[in-house]
Chains A and B, each alone.
Chain A
């Protein structure tokens, strides 16, 4: 699992807010890995995902004023911009989002665990990108429910409900305790 620990650097944030692009790049550097993983899962295309992260970074840089120096909200704010960029990419370049042939299996075939993973992967890819989004944020990027909710612009209760509902689409026999 990926665990991203945000580096609280108010001084870097202050420099970025004053127009220092290098400072902003330093600020979001720890977020690029989770941002890429989020985009790759939403778009199911690795190259497009990297393009989306780059474009989202530029948009975030231009919208930095919206953050009002709040470093604590940086991660959810940035990931929500990445998610929006992915939605835009899908609308504009619908023909490039289903290149499953480019997805390379992580585990060698024949392994029992791999078979389970492949089944789950197929099930995940059958979900819409917006259905995948809360699952990625909570289970893959390890964001707490409150932060997932901020990224999605929902209440924590609605977020929890959405995650559970989507998880049950993957495994209909899942109980609430098995999910949270």
Chain B
């Protein structure tokens, strides 16, 4: 392949993705620019107003949010000293302490600071007294958002492919990790058929457009504790078995 061949093929592929812009785009942008607020004064005032509002909002959230007294992450184990912005101290193999009831509804974990793309470099499962665990480890920091969505049944749609897969177990939890990829630093298994009492199966059902999805098949109700630990950064999801 010559340099020109490679460029031509890439150009055609890019063309297929982007197409051409709407001919009206130029007029649309021009109108938006003309109608945009004047650059200096109003922007400066707007920024100041936004800063004041942000300070007030942060204050309200800090003082008024009961979750503030718990961990950063839904379903995690609260510690008296935990702050909303810091993950709890990490031990090599953390065990849940006395914890609140597990979460049985959708929840999200958001990061204060994230890399452009968080590279998953390890996934492992384990069983412990009272819970089964899946750990998804990140090489370079916490991804911006992680969502957990419990569901009835264990049928999931594979992202980017569209077909359906059914996991072992009775119910499921879909874990959606946004701003991550599982193909750069991870080459391990993408399907763990564990046979555990709680977590029956964990299977990757998406690694596309910087969104990684793992489906969990559980034997009981789809409830969980989820939290982030660091050194290394990892998402820990515990499925109660008692």
A binds B: yes
Would A57 and B211 count as touching, CB distance under 8 A?
no
- B30 sits at the interface (CB 8 A): yes
User: Which segment of A7-15, A68-76, A112-120, A153-161 sits at the interface?
Assistant: A112-120
Chain A interface SS verdict (over half): helix
Interface residues of B in 181-229 (CB under 8 A from A): 181, 183, 208-211
> CB-nearest residue of chain A relative to B4?
A178
Bound complex: CA of A135 vs CA of B17, how far in Å? 13
- B63 sits at the interface (CB 8 A): no
Bound complex: CA of A64 vs CA of B43, how far in Å? 13
Contacts of A146 in B (CB 8 A): none
- A67 sits at the interface (CB 8 A): no
Would A46 and B12 count as touching, CB distance under 8 A?
no
CB distance from A129 to the nearest CB of B (A): 7
The count of residues in chain B whose C-beta lies closer than 8 Å to any C-beta of chain A is: 46
Contacts of B210 in A (CB 8 A): 90, 128-129
Interface residues of B in 1-60 (CB under 8 A from A): 1-3, 6-7, 9-22, 25-26, 28-30, 32-34, 36, 38-40, 43
Would A25 and B19 count as touching, CB distance under 8 A?
no
- A89 sits at the interface (CB 8 A): no
Would A58 and B21 count as touching, CB distance under 8 A?
no
CB distance from B14 to the nearest CB of A (A): 4
What are the nearest 7 A-B pairs in CB distance? A40-B18, A36-B21, A120-B13, A25-B30, A121-B13, A117-B12, A140-B14
19 intermolecular pairs with C-beta atoms under 8 Å apart = A19-B39, A19-B40, A29-B30, A32-B25, A33-B21, A49-B18, A53-B29, A54-B28, A58-B32, A58-B36, A61-B33, A61-B39, A100-B160, A106-B19, A121-B13, A121-B16, A128-B116, A128-B210, A170-B10
